[in-house]
Amino acid sequence: MTAEALLRAVFQALTASAGGRRENWAAGSPLTVLTPIAPGRLEELGEYFGQLRGDERSPLADVPETHLGRWVIIDRLRNPDRPQALGSPHLLFSAIYDGELDGYLESLRVRMAAAANTIWGCCIGYPGTGDAESFPRYFREARLPADMALAAYPRATAEEVRSSLELQKKLLDFAMKAQDKTSDRELHAAYHEERGKLFEGVDGRRPLHRRYSDRVTEPGCDPPEHKPRVTGPTPHRPPRLELDDIQGNVVRSYGLDHACFTFVRVGPGGAEGGRAFLGELAESVPDARERRPERPLNVALTYAGLDALGVSPEVLETFPPEFREGMAARAEEVLKDLGQSEPARWDKGLGDGSAHIMVSLYAADKPALEGRVRELAALIERRGLERIHEQPAAVLGARRDVNTGRDLPPGREHFGFADGFGQPMIHGVHDWPPLLPDVSPEYAGQRPIAAGEFLLGYEDEDREIAGLSYRGAREAQAVRDIGRDGTFMVYRKLQQDVARFRRVIREATATWGLRYGYDEEQLAAKIVGRWRDGTPLMRCPDRDGPSTEHDRHASNDFFFSEDPDGFKCPLGAHIRRAHPRDGIAFGDNLTRRHRLLRRGMSYGDELPDDTEGDRSDRGLIFICFNASVARQFEVVQGWLTDGNAFGLGHDPDFLLGAADGRDGKMKIQGERPFFLSPLEPLVITKGGEYLFLPGLEALRRLAANEWGWAEEGHRP
Partner 1 sequence: MTDAEGARPGAAIGPPERARPTEERGGWGAGEPQENVRDTAHALTTLTPIRPPWDLFLRPLLRVCQYLPHDEFRLLSFIHYVQWIVIGDFPRRTRSGGLLGAVPRRLGALVGRAPKHGPGQRLHYPYILFESNFNGDFASYIEAFSRVIPERMKLIWGRGVDFPGPQPTGPFLRYIRANEYVAAHYYSAYPEATTTMVCSALELKRRAVEFDGRARGLPPSQFAAEWRRFLRAAEHWL
In 407-486, DSSP assigns E strands to 407-408
**Per CB under 8 A, which of residues 78..117 are in contact with partner 1?**
78-82, 84-90, 92, 94, 96
Q: Please identify, among the stretches 51-59, 262-270, 417-425, 528-536, the one whose residues bind partner 1 according to the rule CB under 8 A.
A: 51-59
CB of 504 to partner 1, least distance (A): 22
Residue 636 · residue 578 · CB < 8 Å = yes
673 binds partner 1 (CB under 8 A): yes
Exposed/middle/buried for residue 544 (C-beta within 10 Å: 0-12, 13-18, 19+): exposed
Q: Does 516 bind partner 1 (CB under 8 A)?
A: no
Instruction: Say whether residue 240 binds partner 1 (CB under 8 A).
Output: no
Stretch that binds partner 1, among 119-127, 262-270, 524-532, 600-608 (CB under 8 A): 119-127
**Binding residue for partner 1, selected from 200, 644, 708, 712, defined by CB under 8 A:** 644
Residues contacting residue 708 through CB under 8 Å, at least 6 positions apart: none
Q: Does 706 bind partner 1 (CB under 8 A)?
A: no
* Region 158-187 residues binding partner 1, contact defined as CB under 8 A: 158, 160-165, 167-168, 171-172, 175, 178, 183-185, 187
CA 51 to chain centre: 32
* Residue 38, C-beta contacts closer than 8 angstroms, at least 6 positions apart: 88, 122, 123, 124
Nearer to partner 1, 179 or 404 (CB): 179
Looking at 107, 423, 669, 685, which residue binds partner 1 (CB under 8 A)?
669
Stretch in the footprint of partner 1 (CB under 8 A) among 279-287, 401-409, 431-439, 640-648? 640-648
Choose between 133 and 147: whose C-beta lies nearer to partner 1. Answer: 147
196 lines the binding site for partner 1 (CB under 8 A): no
Radius of gyration of the chain (CA): 30
Cα–Cα dist 371/260, whole Å: 11
Phi then psi dihedrals of residue 246, to 5 deg: -85, 135
12 binds partner 1 (CB under 8 A): yes
User: Is residue 245 within 8 Å of 697, Cβ to Cβ?
Assistant: yes
Rule CB under 8 A: is residue 149 a binding residue for partner 1?
Answer: yes
Helix (H) or strand (E) holding 603: strand 601-603
Of residues 113, 364, 499, 585, which one binds partner 1 by CB under 8 A? 585
**Footprint on residues 404-463 left by partner 1 (CB under 8 A):** 462-463
Q: What is the DSSP letter of 559?
A: -
13 binds partner 1 (CB under 8 A): yes
84, 77 contact by CB (below 8 A): yes
Shortest distance, CB of residue 659 to partner 1, whole angstroms?
A: 17
Looking at this protein, which amino acid is placed at residue 578? A
Which of 23-31, 256-264, 286-294, 700-708 is the region at the interface with partner 1 (rule: CB under 8 A)? 23-31
Binding flag, residue 230, partner 1 (CB under 8 A): no
Distances (CA, A) of 507 to 273, 358, 500, 513, 640: 55, 41, 10, 9, 24
211 binds partner 1 (CB under 8 A): no
> Which is nearest to 139 in space by CA: 64, 31, 46?
31
Q: Binding of partner 1 at residue 60 (CB under 8 A)? A: yes
CA–CA gap between residue 410 and residue 413 (Å, rounded):
9
Instruction: Compose the 533-572 pattern: x for residues touching partner 1 by CB under 8 A, - for all others.
Output: --------------------------------x-------
CB of 28 to partner 1, least distance (A): 7
For partner 1, which is the closer residue by CB, 359 or 624? 624
578 binds partner 1 (CB under 8 A): no
Q: Is 28 in the site for partner 1 (CB under 8 A)?
A: yes
Would you put residue 619 in left (φ > 0), alpha (ψ -120 to 50) or beta? left
Q: Which is nearer to partner 1, 72 or 435 (CB)?
A: 72
Binding-site residue total for partner 1 (CB under 8 A)? 158
Q: Any residues with CB less than 8 A from the CB of 329 and at least 6 apart, and which?
A: none
Burial of 463 (0-12, 13-18, 19+ CB in 10 A): exposed
Residue among 50, 196, 434, 437 that touches partner 1 (CB under 8 A): 50
Task: Name the nearest CA neighbour of 481 among 290, 709, 710, 297.
Answer: 709
Quick one: which segment of 73-81, 277-285, 301-309, 382-390 binds partner 1 (CB under 8 A)? 73-81
Contact 253, 215 (CB under 8 A): no
Nearest distance from C-beta of residue 117 to partner 1, angstroms = 16
Determine, following the binding rule CB under 8 A, whether residue 76 of this chain makes contact with partner 1: yes
* SS3 assignment for 477-497: HHHHHHHCCCEEEEEEEEEEC
